[in-house]
Amino acid sequence: MRLRLVLSETLQSLSTNASTTVATTLTVLIGMFLLGLFIAIGSWVVSLTDYVQRDLLVKVFFLDEATPEEINAVGNRLESFPEVEEITFVSKDEALARMEERHPELTAHLATNPLPRAFEVKPHDAEGVELVVERLTPPPAGVDEVEYAEETTRDIRHLVSVVEFMFLAASVILLVASTILIANTIRLSIFARRREIEVMKLVGASNWFVRGPFMLEGLIHGFLGAAAAVVLLFLAKEFVLPLFDQLLSMGGDVRAWSFEVIALILIGVGLVLGAAGSGITIRRFLRV
């Protein structure tokens, strides 16, 4: 009986403030739609950087006169580094075979094999590249030089930092704006029904019974806006995204989070926004 009464009060408030309800829902819709885009694009960029980082290697080249003991000592030292994920030894013959495959014109008339033995060190992430190089400075015995793609590593780290900052800033702005508008809508509902609320309190209604319709109203605003945003994102995925498939195709391992995951995040965030907006307003403006 109480639940039915709370629902009726909520529906009455939504219909009474129809224009404000529509404006709030649209604002939440826009905010959740943009948030969904940011999540999709951000997760795709992070996946892309992870994919590119797989090719970031530290190459440890050995002198021709380096002994097997010196090479093994360097290998054991590399294995002890926490930043290192994988170590591959490249012999002189394997290095020459790779060169013949990639650049046959450079190896056509070689009388001897000039390529050195080397370790290819794969760190866990881009930050680990520079850490591994620092740990090998100065070069250990038997090592000629240590090389890595310094510019590429720096660019990837910069890109990740920029994406993380933009995603965080945009998300905070959208969430705050949506929460404030929901709070203002609830406040208007409270002011419009303040006499009714006084009567309810006089006849013994509990605080939670009075708060119930407003909390539910905020949840409805958040849910409707988030659900509409999910529908728009689905339409964009089905009809707009295929136009960019070839442009965004970087390999099977580069992909954004699944649509289902993003949809669940948006619905959850929408409900949290609705509850937060209602809670803020009730606490500040509903003196019961």
pLDDT category at 215 given cuts 50, 70, 90 is: confident
Whether the Cβ atoms of residue 194 and residue 19 lie closer than 8 Å to each other:
no
Query: Cα 49–50–53 angle (5° rounding)?
Result: 85
Structure tokens at 70: 């010196």
Q: Return the pLDDT at 264.
A: 92
What average pLDDT does the segment 48-52 reach?
70
Q: Please check whether residue 63 is in contact with residue 144, taking contact to mean a CB–CB distance below 8 angstroms.
A: yes
Cα 174 from Cα 191, distance rounded (Å): 26
Q: How far apart are CA 85 and CA 136, in angstroms?
A: 16
Residue 13 C-beta-side C-alpha neighbours within 13 Å: 29
Residue with the bigger pLDDT between 72 and 248: it is 72
Residue 246 has pLDDT above 60, yes or no: no
* Residue 206, both tokens: 């509990």
Give the integer Cα–Cα distance in Å for 224 and 211.
Answer: 20
Has residue 84 got a pLDDT over 60?
Answer: yes
Please list the alpha-helical segments (H only) found in the chain: 2-16, 18-53, 68-79, 92-102, 104-107, 126-135, 150-192, 194-202, 207-239, 245-248, 259-285
- Per-residue model confidence as pLDDT tens digits over 89-110: 999 889 888 888 887 877 777 7
Q: Give the global pTM.
A: 0.61
Residue 10 — pLDDT band, cuts 50, 70, 90?
Answer: low
Higher pLDDT, 165 or 106: 165
Contact status, residue 288 vs residue 197, Cβ threshold 8 Å: yes
Angle, vertex CA 99, rays to CA 63 and CA 61, nearest 5: 20
